[in-house]
Amino acid sequence: MAETTDLTQLSYEDARAMLKKWRECGVRRSEEVVEIWEHIISRSPASLGDEQWAVLEQVCIAGLDAARVDLAQECIDSLHAQFPESNRVLKLKAMQLEATEHYQKALEIYDRLVEEDPNNNSYRKRKVAVLLAQGKRLDAIRAINEYLKIFLNDPEAWLQLSELFLQENDVAKAVHCLEECVLIQPLNSMYFRRLGDLRYTQGGAENIELARAYYERALKINPTDLRSQYGILLSNNQIASTTKSASEKKKAGTAAVDAIDNLVNRYQKISPKSNPESDGILNCLEAMKVTVGSK
């Protein structure tokens, strides 16, 4: 964590601003949210004005995440008193049921919510989450597919689906899902890196070439991406050892050596204290450079 300040010592206004920031960015810092709420904000929630309800919702979800069901119950109670017929509160209620492993009841509530408001995608997503929590992977895949027929520009769902397919060892379909993510957010290096990983896993000359291209793209978007650097090294190494054309071989070989140099640079910069294994990795890389370079 970047800041080391004691969260319980924040002033009221600072705490409020911090909660607001986290709420808007969608950061998952549940423990801290609960802490801020209990030590600071809960002293006088009424002085938040209308913001109070949004904060209560945030704290409720954080409480569920941090296994503080009692706190979540408090939040739900006060929200329910304020908005007795709100679907949003009902969703929180269902999430609480989820957290206490009453999956069937939670699903029933979500079904009802979806029926009442078919345009709200969050209820459908929660249903998938319930299936995932129950470990019903195939059902979850089916549910996400159903969901993606309507909301097909939701990268979160595509990413989840690709992970599920990977757990089922269906790399080709996982690739398809990640390609969707790339279409929707072409500037996210993670998608490219994962695509590279998958193409590399699939193997074959063409896929390795693709993997290299994807790794390079990922590294271009995010120059600090160590994994992509390794990916470039490995895919180039692979190409160098399998390709038949001599020029291609030489090119891939030098690219691999370059990648090793970059990696070595990165590891030399960090002190052994922060990563005790960096020395071993450095030795490994140097050794690899010799073998790659000799090819």
Partner 1 sequence: MTDLLLDPAIRTWVFLPIVVITFFIGILRHYVSLLLMNKKKVELENIADGQYLLRARLLRENGRFLPKTSFNARRQYLCAEETGYLSKAQQRPAKGPNPMDPSQMTEMLKGNMMNMIPMIVVGGWINWTFSGFVTTRVPFPLTLKFKAMLQRGVDLVSLDSAWVSSASWYFLCMFGLRSIYTLVLGSENAADQSKAMEDQMAMTGSAVNPQADPRAAFKGEWEALQMTQHQFAL
Nearer to partner 1, 1 or 172 (CB): 172
CA gap 293, 240 in Å, rounded: 10
Question: Minimum CB separation from partner 1 for residue 168, in Å?
Answer: 20
Nearer to partner 1, 152 or 284 (CB): 152
Single-letter amino acid, residue 19: L
Question: Do residues 241 and 295 make contact, with C-beta atoms less than 8 angstroms apart?
Answer: yes
Which of 29, 193, 217, 289 touches partner 1 by CB under 8 A?
217
Does 266 participate in binding partner 1 (rule CB under 8 A)?
no
Does 153 participate in binding partner 1 (rule CB under 8 A)?
yes
Nearer to partner 1, 138 or 183 (CB): 183
Does 83 participate in binding partner 1 (rule CB under 8 A)?
no
The residue count for binding partner 1 (CB under 8 A) is 20
Does 213 participate in binding partner 1 (rule CB under 8 A)?
yes
**Residues 100-119, mask of contacts with partner 1 (x by CB under 8 A):** ------------------xx
CA gap 129, 155 in Å, rounded: 16
Nearer to partner 1, 78 or 188 (CB): 188
Task: Provide the sign of the torsion angle of the four alpha carbons 199, 201, 202, 208, taken in this order.
Answer: positive
CA gap 240, 236 in Å, rounded: 6
Which of 149, 244, 269, 273 touches partner 1 by CB under 8 A?
149
DSSP 138-163: HHHHHHHHHHHHHSTT-HHHHHHHHH
**Residues 171-190, mask of contacts with partner 1 (x by CB under 8 A):** ----xx--x--xxx-x----
CB hemisphere CA count around 12 (13 angstroms) = 8
Nearer to partner 1, 77 or 117 (CB): 117
Q: What is the dihedral of CA 50, 52, 57, 60, to 10 degrees?
A: -170
Single-letter amino acid, residue 60: C
Question: Do residues 78 and 93 make contact, with C-beta atoms less than 8 angstroms apart?
Answer: no
Number of residues in the chain: 295
Nearer to partner 1, 30 or 189 (CB): 189
Residues 6+ apart with CB under 8 A from 137: 164, 167, 168
The residue whose two tokens read 């994807």 is 214
Interacting stretch for partner 1, rule CB under 8 A, among 35-43, 76-84, 143-151, 261-269? Answer: 143-151
Which of 159, 216, 229, 285 touches partner 1 by CB under 8 A?
216
Question: Do residues 163 and 131 make contact, with C-beta atoms less than 8 angstroms apart?
Answer: no
Interacting stretch for partner 1, rule CB under 8 A, among 21-29, 34-42, 92-100, 147-155? Answer: 147-155
Interacting stretch for partner 1, rule CB under 8 A, among 25-33, 39-47, 211-219, 263-271? Answer: 211-219
Does 205 participate in binding partner 1 (rule CB under 8 A)?
no
Footprint of partner 1 (CB under 8 A): 118-119, 149-153, 175-176, 179, 182-184, 186, 192, 210, 213-214, 216-217
